[in-house]
Structures are given as C-alpha cells and as structure tokens.
C-alpha cells in the first residue's frame, strides 16, 4: 500500500510486509526506498496510520507469500480489501465492512492460494456488504466476463456487485452504514 498526498509535505509512504523488503531480489526495490518518506512494515493484527488514513491488517492470509488485507474505517464508512489468499471461514468476520473488495483470480476451484468465484459468492452471502467489488482477475475470470458475473451475483445475493475495470471510480458515500 502506498499513500500519495500533499498533507504535511509527505508525497509517498510505503506500507508492506517485511518479506517484501528482504532477500536478494526484494519486491520493494532498494533504490526506490530513498524516494519514500518512510516504510511501514505491516504485521498480523497491526493498526496503522499514514497521514489521515487509518487501517488494520486483521489477519495473515493463507498464501505462499506474506500477504495481508486491509480494513479501513472512518466515522462514516468501512472498506475492506481481501488480497490474495486461499479461502478460510474467518475471512468473513475479519473483513466485514460496508464495501468489500475481493481479489477473484479464479472462476472455478483450483489448488492455488487464491479465491475463486464460488468462495467469493459464499463470502458475499455471509458478509452482506452494501457493495462488493471484484478485482484482480485471472484468465479464467476474464474469459467468463466478470461484468456479467457481477450482475448474476447481485441477483443471487441481493448485494450490489461490480467488476472492477481500469480507471474505474466509485462514489462510496451512498454505501455508508
């Protein structure tokens, strides 16, 4: 996660798992770190504030890498982002929010550490967000036409569901709890 804004003169801050900073070939490249005001290492159960943005990383995800999602809460709205993970039942409780963003890599079940459509459908039914956003599509999702899947999920679950697209902007005020 990176925050870029003008407040207090801070133009870039990185928040990342420690794993992304280590090793011979780290994800956060060493030469780029000098351009960041600071790097915040995130951990399971951690609470963080980057400028005006407050968030928690409720649980480490079940993935071969060190992966966390985020739950943002303001006085008016809560937004959760479920990053790459294999399904586990506690996801619903950790990420319950007004708006939930799901990485949906696969259309059908697989042995990858990623959510697939039937699991996301179950999570939406249990969590009942005001808005569910699907993103991070793999080829099986792309071929299945995510925009059509979103309409079908909305009909089945009674929850507004959208498939993310490049450059998409959403007005979140109408989803306030």
H or E segment to which residue 49 belongs: strand 46-50
How far is residue 104's CA from residue 96's CA, in Å, rounded to a whole number? 17
Q: What pLDDT is recorded for position 14?
A: 60
At residue 6, the pLDDT reads 41
Residue-by-residue pLDDT tens, the chain, 177 positions: 444 334 444 445 466 888 888 888 888 888 888 878 778 889 999 998 877 778 999 999 999 989 999 999 888 899 999 999 999 999 999 999 999 999 999 999 998 999 999 999 999 999 999 999 999 999 999 999 999 999 999 999 999 999 999 989 999 989 997
Predicted pLDDT at 162: 98
- In the chain, what is the straight-line distance between the N-terminal and C-terminal CA atoms, in Å? 25
3-class secondary structure, 53: strand
At 82 the pLDDT is 97
Q: What domains can you pick out in the chain, each with its CATH number?
A: 1-43 (no CATH), 58-175 (3.60.15.10)
Give the C-alpha separation, 49 to 70, whole Å: 12
pLDDT reported for residue 7 = 46
Task: Give the per-residue pLDDT at 11.
Answer: 43
CA distance 172 to 139: 28
Cα angle: 78, vertex 81, 85; to 5 degrees: 145
């Amino acid at each position: 996660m990176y925050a870029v804004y003008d407040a207090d003169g801070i133009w870039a801050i990185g928040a990342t798992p420690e794993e992304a900073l280590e090793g011979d070939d780290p994800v956060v490249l060493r030469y780029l770190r000098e351009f960041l005001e600071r790097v915040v290492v995130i951990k399971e159960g951690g609470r963080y504030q980057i400028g005006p943005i407050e968030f928690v990383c409720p649980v480490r995800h079940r993935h071969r890498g060190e992966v966390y999602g985020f739950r943002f809460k303001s006085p008016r709205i809560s937004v959760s982002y479920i990053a790459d993970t294999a399904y586990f039942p506690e996801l619903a409780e950790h990420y319950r929010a007004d708006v939930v963003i799901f990485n949906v890599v696969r259309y059908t079940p697989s042995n990858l550490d990623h959510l697939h459509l039937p699991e996301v459908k179950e999570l939406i039914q249990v969590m009942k967000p005001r808005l569910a956003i699907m993103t991070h599509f793999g080829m099986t999702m792309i071929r299945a036409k995510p925009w059509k899947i979103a309409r079908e999920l909305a009909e089945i679950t009674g929850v507004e569901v959208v498939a993310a697209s490049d450059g998409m902007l959403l007005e979140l005020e109408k989803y306030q709890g």
